């Protein structure tokens, strides 16, 4: 359990320390909130995929690794054709369901070390690292 601890000295009339008071505060809720905020800052709300910022960071790291180990990587840019028509004709709740379905299908089609991310709207990026 994460805690915040404070130790305070208690002094007498001569300014001598007579004893200490220790207090402990459970900060697990705060830590959980910080983790949620961090996750929300790096992941798409609708699909829970890495967002543009996290994708760019992972691509930077993947390029460094590929260069360091003399390996290749592939970057796929995927755009859903006529996705706006789905939102306009069937509603955003159906469009969101389509985005979640596409993200699930993409994630099932890659290895654990690869990255599927949603750049926004109807655009996805997949980073495929050479094993």
* SS3 state of residue 67: helix
Catalytic residue among 26, 48, 88, 122: 122
Known catalytic membership, residue 122? yes
Q: Are 90 and 84 in contact (CB under 8 A)?
A: no
Cα separation of 80 and 86, whole Å? 10
Q: Where are the beta strands (DSSP E) in the chain?
A: 3-11, 17-26, 73-79, 115-120, 123-129
Q: Give the residue numbers annotated as catalytic, written as ranges.
A: 122
């Amino acid at each position: 359990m994460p805690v915040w601890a404070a130790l305070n000295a208690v002094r007498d009339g001569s300014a001598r320390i007579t004893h200490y008071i220790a207090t402990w505060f459970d900060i697990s809720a705060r830590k959980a909130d910080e983790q949620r905020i961090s996750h929300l800052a790096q992941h798409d709300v609708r699909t829970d995929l890495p967002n543009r910022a996290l994708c760019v960071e992972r691509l930077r790291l993947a390029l460094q690794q590929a260069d360091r180990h003399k390996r290749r990587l592939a970057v796929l840019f995927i755009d859903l054709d006529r996705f706006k028509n789905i939102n306009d004709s069937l509603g955003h709740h159906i469009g969101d369901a389509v985005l979640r379905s596409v993200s699930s299908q993409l994630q099932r089609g890659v290895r654990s070390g690869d990255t599927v991310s949603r750049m926004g709207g109807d655009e996805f990026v997949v980073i495929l690292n050479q094993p």
